Structure 1
Amino acid sequence: MWVTADVTSDLIDRAPWARVDDVPWQRITSPLAMIIRGGVRHLQIWKCTTASELPCPETAEGCDRWHSGWFLPALCIPQERATALDELIVTSADGEHLAVHSRNWQDPRRTFYVWALARDVLRWREITGESGLAPESRPAEDEPVTYTEQVLDSSCRYGEERPHTSDPRPQRELASVAGLHTFDHPPDHTLLEPTRPIALRLPPRERLTIAAELSCLPWEIGPCMLCATPIHRYGPRSPKVCSNCRASITIR
């Protein structure tokens, strides 16, 4: 697994990769989790209508067809929780996360790599017929892999509406859907439950009760990173996972 903090890195979509925030070494050595910002995606399957929460990736309006693709956790419906780098290292080793390789639907010459849950990968292979294995062919000649230092763009960009980066290389990581497939008929077993829920919806009275049991303030209640169980998540020296999940990880 390659880890980078640069959205223009040549490693992106050339091999299994993950992007994290560019942080100082003190943050890296701290016990705080490093959340993966790119490289990990979740499978979404939806009927494309004008009332769909997910937009049509092909037209401006609903096309009344079915789509499937890989989405960032924050763009999934319902929203999936983000994955920490330490967690991905473990889950990629034990097979819970798998590396998926496929062609880009917008440009067949381009390919993409994503890390995805094994359940999503198996489902994706069933409905698309793709293996997800990396091809033996070499990268396109017009996109050489380079690691040489390049001169920064010093042009004044003041007043321009679009964001600009001084890096001369193009941004390789995109937030758009990856591995899009469109179907005229719904795939079998289309509806899937969220695999890793992030939201913790508690009625006020139940939140007060749990806070009293855990001896913490109501707003310090949050979900376990692995099973979404309500725990004392926020505050000084508060854990990110519940005791049951910590015990299961220790047993492994």
Structure 2
Amino acid sequence: MAKDRTASLIDRAAWARVDDMPWKDIAGGREMVIRGGYRHLEVWRCVPSSDRHCLLSEGAGHCGGMHADWFLPALCQLERKPVHLEDLVVSSATGESVPVYVPNRGSGRAGRHMRVTATDRDLWKELVGEKKSLPVPEQEEGDETTFADQEIDRTCRAGDEGWFVSDSRPIRDLGQPTGGFTLPRMPARHSERPMLITSVERAAAAAALGCTVWELGPCAECGQLMRRYGRNAGRVCAVCRALLNRR
């Protein structure tokens, strides 16, 4: 647990940040909301109608693929309730909340530790094929975990080199997305031959569309997975329907 966005414990292991509350508020029963370190997995199709940006494009383009990334509860498209410390303790003990380590895009040595739901963790592992255990975090040069409650150092350090306790630490809890994971867009169907769709693609599409795997099917126009069966099903996807309406 940490109460400071610059705490050196952040991203060294699974962590959570709460507000710096007076002990009287805590003793009085005021709930402690988790402000950082707990995230939810969201999966979406990268199309013009999506409210999220493409993870592969720096501009406003859309790749047509499936994206998955971790977001704070307040930044989720689906409504997520705030997580309280008491609930996190219980859910961690029961296995409903679990630790996850997500490497940064393009860098296997750096990444983010967080706590997530077991359901989101299982889906993430299925999408990325992750089978490795949590790595041992590397100690940064000149950055040690120290006890903050100490006497003020009144010595002038102007001109000296090195890191001192009185120096300000960089913000570690930035609250930004992790960089996520992208599944490539399935090729367009050019024949009547059945399309081979992997279990990973089915899991990602089901999560993005908010339906079960058995409700999925190919769009009659582009061949992309869509909600083809069950309630609120259709024959063509929303993108193709919009294109057809313009004709």
Q: Which residue of 2 aligns with 1:85?
A: 85
Counterpart for residue 114 of structure 2: 114
1:54-73 equivalences in 2 (<5 Å):
54-58=52-56, 59-61=58-60, 62-73=62-73
How far apart, CA to CA, are the structure 2 residues paired with 1:51 and 1:87? 35
Please show how residues 192-231 of structure 1 align to structure 2 within 5 Å: 192=207, 193=210
- State the distance in 1 between where 2:128 and 2:29 align: 40
Aligned to 2:202: 188
Residues 133-187 of structure 1 show CA distances to partners (whole Å, capped at 9, x for unaligned) of 3114x515447333276979xxxxxxxxxxxxx9621111122212511111372
TM-superposed deviation, 1:131: 3.4
Kindly report the root-mean-square deviation, in angstroms, between the aligned alpha carbons of the 2 structures.
Answer: 2.6
Question: Residue 4 of structure 1 is aligned with which of 2, 13, 27?
Answer: 2
**Counterpart mapping for 1:1-252 below 5 A:** 3-58=1-56, 59-61=58-60, 62-105=62-105, 107-131=107-131, 133-136=133-136, 138-142=137-141, 144-147=143-146, 168-178=168-178, 180-185=180-185, 187-189=201-203, 190-192=205-207, 193=210
- TM-score, with length taken from structure 2: 0.64
Kept after mapping to 2: 8 A contact 1:5/1:20? yes
Superposed displacement of residue 47, structure 1 = 1.2
Shift, 1:79, TM fit = 2.1
- Secondary structure of 2:102's partner? strand
TM-score normalised by length of structure 1: 0.63
Unaligned ranges ≥5, structure 1: 153-165, 195-252
> What are the superposed Cα offsets for residues 56-77 of structure 1, whole Å, 9 maximum, x if unpaired?
2342222322211111111111
Change in 2 beyond 3 A, CA 1:87/1:11: same
Identity of aligned residues (%): 36
Measure the CA separation in 1 of the matches of 2:153 and 2:179: 34
Question: Structure 1 residue 41: deviation in Å?
Answer: 0.4
Q: 1:234 aligns to what? A: none
Cα distance in 2, alignment partners of residues 36 and 132 from structure 1: 27
Task: Determine if contact 1:97/1:117 at 8 Å carries over to the other structure.
Answer: yes
Instruction: Please state how far the C-alpha of 1:107 moved relative to its aligned partner.
Output: 4.3
Partner of 2:217 in structure 1?
A: none
* 1:46–1:66 Cα contact (<8 Å) kept: yes
The CA deviation string for residues 190-232 of structure 1, in whole angstroms up to 9 with x for no partner, is: 33359xxxxxxxxxxxxxxxxxxxxxxxxxxxxxxxxxxxxxx
Residue deviations 1:27-84 (CA, integer Å, cap 9, x gap): 1112221110111100111112232112223422223222111111111111211110
Structure-1 separation of matches of 2:142 and 2:97? 28
What letter matches 1:147 in structure 2?
Answer: T
Decide whether the 8 Å contact of 2:39 with 2:114 is kept in 1.
yes
Greater radius of gyration (CA): 2
Paired AA for residue 144 in structure 2:
V
Change (3 A) 1:183 1:20: same
The unaligned stretches of length 5 or more in structure 2 are 155-165, 187-200, 212-247
CA distance in 2, matches of 1:143, 1:176: 25
Counterpart residue type for residue 39 of structure 2? R
